[in-house]
Amino acid sequence: MSPSSQSRIDYAVKIAHRYDAHLTGIYIAPTYWGASPSESYVIGSKAITELTKFYHAEERETSKIAIELFNTATSNGKISAECRIIKDSEVDLQLKSILLYTDLIIAGNPGTNGLPKNWSAEVILLDTGVPFLLVPNGWQCQSGDIGTRILLGWNGSRESRRGITDSLPFLVEAQSVSVVEVDREKHPHHEDPIGADLLLYMSRHGVKADLNALSSQGRPVATVLLEFAAQHDINFIVLGAYSHSRSSEMIFGGVTRTLLKTMSVPLLIVH
């Protein structure tokens, strides 16, 4: 298990402890077949049997280590938890059935050991609709850094509205919530030109927020959001995954994709 995986477990444990939630850890047991091309030339039933036993033993050992690390982290956190093992060859059959019955998915950066092969945040969001919290590699979680200073991306869309409801537990407990809208003149606001109705709606749910209308001045929206996050020491970003594409399989627009590649703090994306 990598250091980044360990830090994500610690982050998840702290979230579960804060909200008295049940935590399910998922370990994808690696398939060793094909890892060493030379072993594909093994000849004879005895040699093949021995190699098969060796691979199975390796899978059991790595799974055992993963479970022990998870149990150690969760026992220290004194939370309700369980660890499930899924064979790499059975991910497509089992993973979705587990994720459908969760309130929040926590994983690592796309393209790293944080997500199983052929599974991305986009695929999982499309299939399950469950909010997805991505924790960047190298993120060092402190008890006071779990969503205490939140940036909520807003553009008046269905997805950004969903971002509010799906992140409410975090928003309510945050020390500060900065609603950031870039180039608001490009977005229709249904009789709410200065965001008064938005802030009133959030306050009725116990969220104290301030609205920041920013101009991109021709720069990418993601750049503006990241600069704001750095300037205000943001440690949690909430974003509604949205794209202008007509394809139902393309739910991440340019802003979302850029943030996924460059995020330096945990990013909660919803759809």
Residue 20: predicted pLDDT? 93
CA–CA dist 131, 267 (Å, integer): 10
Task: State the pLDDT confidence band at 201, using cuts at 50, 70 and 90.
Answer: very high
Q: What is the pLDDT of residue 30?
A: 75
CB 259 within 8 A of CB 222: yes
What domains can be seen in the chain, in order of their start residue?
A: 3-135 (3.40.50.620), 147-270 (3.40.50.620)
Checking if the pLDDT of 245 tops 90, the result is: no
pLDDT of residue 204: 97
Q: What is the pLDDT of residue 246?
A: 46
Q: Is 48 left (phi over 0), alpha (psi -120 to 50) or beta?
A: alpha
- Give pLDDT, residue 248: 44
- What is the mean pLDDT of the segment spanning 160-185? 93
Q: Give me the sheet containing 236-240, strands edge to edge.
A: 105-108, 132-135, 267-270, 236-240, 149-153, 176-182, 209-214
Task: Give the gyration radius of the chain's Cα atoms.
Answer: 21
Q: Name the pTM for this structure.
A: 0.83
| Least-confidence region, from 27-41, 66-80, 123-137 | 27-41
